[in-house]
Chain A
Amino acid sequence: MKITVEADKCCAGGQCVLAAPEVFDQRDEDGIVVLLTGTPDSSQYDAVREAAQICPAACIHVTDN
Chain B
Amino acid sequence: MTPGSNDWPARVVVVGASAAGLAVVEAARGQGYRGELTLIGDEPHLPYDRPPLSKQLLTSDWSPERLLLRERAHLDELAVAMRLGQPASGLDADSREVVLADGDRVPYDALVVATGVRARRLPGSDGISGVHVLRTLGDALALRAELTPGRRLVVLGAGVLGAEAAAVAQGLGAEVTVIDPLAWPLARIVNREIGDWLADIHRERGVDLRLSSAPVTAIRTTAGRTEAVELADGTVLPADTVLVAIGATPAVQWLAGSPIVIGGREPATGSGGVLCDRRGQAAPGIYAAGDVAAWQDPATGEHRRYEHRLNATEQGRAVARALLDPDFTPPPSVPYFWSDQYDLKLQTFGTLDADDQFTVVDGSLHARRFIGVSHRDGLVRGALGVGMPRQLRAWRTAVADRAPWKETTPA
Contacts and interface: CB of A to CB of B under 8 A. Distances in A.
B27 A18 contact: no
A12 B317 contact: no
Contact of A49 (B30, B71, B387): B30
B345 A54 contact: no
B61 to A, nearest CB: 9
Contact of B393 (A11, A26, A49): A26
Contacts of A14: 389-390, 392-393, 396
A60 to B, nearest CB: 11
In the complex, which of the residues A27, A30, A53 has the most CB atoms of chain B within 10 Å of its own CB atom?
Answer: A53
Interface string B386-411: 01111011001000000000000000
The dominant DSSP class at the A interface is loop
Contacts of B310: 13, 15, 54, 56
User: What band does the interface of chain A fall in when counting residues whose beta carbon is under 8 Å from B?
Assistant: 20 to 34
Interface residues of B, number: 26
Contacts of B388: 31
B313 A53 contact: yes
Interface string A1-42: 000000001011111011000000011101100000000000
A58 B313 CA distance: 10
A47 interface: no
Contacts, number: 60
B393 A18 contact: yes
A56 B313 contact: yes
Nearest to B49: A58
A53 B389 contact: no
Nearest to A25: B390
A12 B23 CA distance: 20
A54 B390 contact: no
B347 interface: yes
Interface in B65-91: 66, 69-71
A56 B338 CA distance: 10
B314 interface: yes
B390 A53 contact: no
Contacts of A57: 49, 51
A53 B310 CA distance: 10
13 contacts: A9-B66, A12-B338, A12-B345, A14-B390, A17-B393, A26-B389, A31-B388, A31-B392, A49-B30, A53-B26, A54-B314, A56-B313, A58-B70
Given A12-B347, A14-B392, A30-B387, 11 more contacts: A13-B310, A13-B347, A17-B393, A18-B396, A26-B390, A26-B393, A30-B389, A31-B389, A53-B313, A54-B310, A56-B309
Interface of B: 23, 26-27, 30, 49, 51, 66, 69-71, 309-310, 313-314, 317, 336, 338, 345, 347, 387-390, 392-393, 396
